[in-house]
Amino acid sequence: MKLFSVALVTVVLLANLIVSKPVYAADALVISICNFVAADDKNRLRKKLRSSKVKLRNIYDGIACNGMSLLQFAMQKNSVNVGQYIVKRLPSGKLAKGADLTWADANGFSDSAITTAIKERIGN
């Protein structure tokens, strides 16, 4: 009977290890960044980036929050402080590609403070 209990616990634990997906550090970083953007918490975003030793310009293209870029997500959540911070940290060449501006115009965010910051940064 004791052997059966031990075997059952072992099988359950092994099944749990096989089925569960491990959370990687990069996944946790992206989740934190998206949460800070949604909360419009610029200070915590800065601290997280600094403690992770990453630069926003290096990871911007690889991050999507709810299928949107960080700037699009900031516009949707009305996170003006974080949005303006992101605009300041990205190279103007990356902003000049216009994907975020095109998205903003198509989704009713053309008058957003973040959109204005992008236009000022690229010289429009």
Q: Is residue 12 part of a domain?
A: no
Q: Is residue 42 part of a domain?
A: yes
Q: How confident is the model at residue 68 (pLDDT cuts 50, 70, 90)?
A: very high
pLDDT number for residue 4: 52
In this structure, what token pair is assigned to residue 57?
């310009």
Q: Is residue 55 part of a domain?
A: yes
Q: Is residue 106 part of a domain?
A: yes
Angstrom distance (rounded) from CA 87 to CA 62: 16
Q: Is residue 52 part of a domain?
A: yes
Tell me which residue has tokens 């072992």: 10
pLDDT number for residue 96: 82
User: How many domains does one find in the chain?
Assistant: 1
Percentage of the chain surpassing pLDDT 70? 78
Tell me which residue has tokens 């699009």: 72
Average pLDDT over residues 88-107: 89
Residues linked to residue 65 through DSSP beta bridges, in sequence order: 68
**Identity of the residue numbered 124:** N
Tell me which residue has tokens 């031990």: 6
Q: Is residue 47 part of a domain?
A: yes
Q: Is residue 9 part of a domain?
A: no
Q: Is residue 8 part of a domain?
A: no
Q: How confident is the model at residue 117 (pLDDT cuts 50, 70, 90)?
A: very high
Domain range holding 46? 22-122
Angstrom distance (rounded) from CA 40 to CA 87: 14
- Cα dist from 1 to 5, 6, 7, 15, whole Å: 6, 9, 10, 21
Average pLDDT over residues 57-76: 93
Q: How confident is the model at residue 99 (pLDDT cuts 50, 70, 90)?
A: confident
Query: How does pLDDT run across 21-51, given as a tens digit for each residue?
Result: 444 446 889 999 999 999 999 999 999 999 9
φ, ψ at 56 (rounded to 5°): -55, -40
pLDDT number for residue 26: 63
